Amino acid sequence: MATGPTVVIEEQGSGATAALGVWLRRGSAHEPEALAGATHLIEHLELRRCGRREPEEIAALIDALGGAVDAYTTRESCAVTAHVPAERWRDALALVLDAVARPRFVAEDLATEKGVVAAEFEMVQDSPAEVAAELALSACWGEHPLARPVLGRREVVQGVSAADLAAFHAAAFTLDELLVVGVGPVDGAEIRAEVEALPLARGTAAPLDPPTWRPAFRVEEREALEQVYVDIVFPALPLGHPDAVTLAILEQLLGAGAASRLFRELRDRHGLVYEVDTSTYAARVAGVLEVTFSAPVAKSSACWATVLRVLEEVGEGRIADREVALAQEALSAGVVLGAEGNDALLDAHVGELLARGRRFDAARLRREIAAVTPEAVRELARRVVRLEAMAGAACGPVRGVRLPELVGRRVA
């Protein structure tokens, strides 16, 4: 249903900088298989030619604005952002709106950017951690669009034409899918008027079906590597779930900080790894809790045993009140520090708007963090950290590692 663009402005009476951005609320997961990678290619081309601007003019303008103009694509969004001196906010607004609404697709530019994206594919393959991350999503979500890499498929990217991209842009980049956010000494009414005048079609993307979870494990043998890179995933919460704050606390205490259970066990007590981390990925219809680590072959068995022991303990709800309190303190501090500066505040607003449909409010979010009880964290841990549901991937000299039976029998 067409509802129009969402425009959210935090006007400040004064200030040295302004931050603005435009988000399309659809990304690589909304592409048809035949155009897998089109959104990311469009992102590359948006700031080459847009409106009446030529490449040299755009490059000069970006430098004149301070160089902090960026574009990126995720599985469920495509964005162009700018953080600029306050007096240049109108120039920045015109550029980001032109980039999203009026890109020009020229065969010469497309050929150049295909080469750049080909290099990105190679960079991913050169990063065993990224390879493991992509394999983990394909292990647990199979052929679902959310498991597809944001870069798309090599053969699609190399075969797509400028006309293909222009047609896809006209259909996918609609006014109703736009989220526009501005922070700083800007004019909200002026921004809204400019957005509503954009020459874009109306309409919204059909929602994705939820993926079916598979407790599978994938491996990619890289004999030349010295370490095995592991990415473990559990089915977690979709974007905007009421228990999202509780999950953030669980993520923090499990492996996201120096006082976390996994860091203390693997790094501080046993010296098995240099780093271990936990994170969450939330899409609108599904989410994962992710545990990542890398270890030399000689230490991999001990590392696996320790990780599985910790996961079993946490999954049984064996979490101390003090661990929850420390995680809450860390998250509460992060709320404050993460919104320092207008560019960070822009990101904070967008995160809340995309997840919960509301503006960022540091005091409210800190109250929500403080209100979570230890028992709520333990209950969620029992729901999420279930070894029987565990999926994941490993990249490295895997043949030299004796995988735990729990993992080995799930290798696809």
pLDDT in tens, 104-125: 999 999 999 999 999 999 999 9
pTM for this structure? 0.95
pLDDT tens per residue across span 212-240: 999 999 999 999 999 999 999 999 999 99
Domain count, the chain: 2
pLDDT at position 241 over 90: yes
Residues 23 and 107 in one domain: yes
Q: Are 38 and 119 part of one and the same domain?
A: yes
Residues 6+ apart with CB under 8 A from 1: 204
Is 203 among the domain residues?
A: no
Mean pLDDT of 368-378: 99
231/365 same-domain check: yes
| Secondary structure of residue 44 in the 3-state scheme | helix
Output the DSSP codes for 235-258.
Answer: E---TT-TTHHHHHHHHHHHHSST
Average pLDDT, the chain: 97
What pLDDT is attached to residue 409? 85
CATH number of domain containing 264: 3.30.830.10
> CB neighbours of 174 closer than 8 A, spacing ≥ 6?
200, 201, 202, 203, 204
Tell me which of 402 and 309 has the higher pLDDT: 309
Residues 188 and 250 in one domain: no
pLDDT, residue 402, reads: 84
pLDDT in the model for residue 57: 98
Instruction: Note whether 192 and 254 are within 8 A (CB).
Output: no
Strand locations in 58-142 (E): 69-73, 78-85
Tokens of 111: 């050929």
Please tell me whether residues 93 and 222 are part of one structural domain.
Answer: no
Determine, yes or no, domain membership for 330: yes
184, 266: one domain: no
Both 128 and 247 in one domain: the answer is no
Task: Domain of residue 235: give its range.
Answer: 217-408
Structure tokens at 300: 């991999």
Both 183 and 265 in a single domain?
no
Q: Are residues 134 and 235 in the same domain?
A: no
Supply the pLDDT for residue 1: 53
Query: What percent of the chain shows pLDDT beyond 70?
Result: 99
Above 80 in pLDDT, residue 370?
yes
Q: Taking 60 as the threshold, does the pLDDT of residue 268 lie above it?
A: yes
Q: Are residues 230 and 303 in the same domain?
A: yes
H or E segment to which residue 290 belongs: strand 287-296
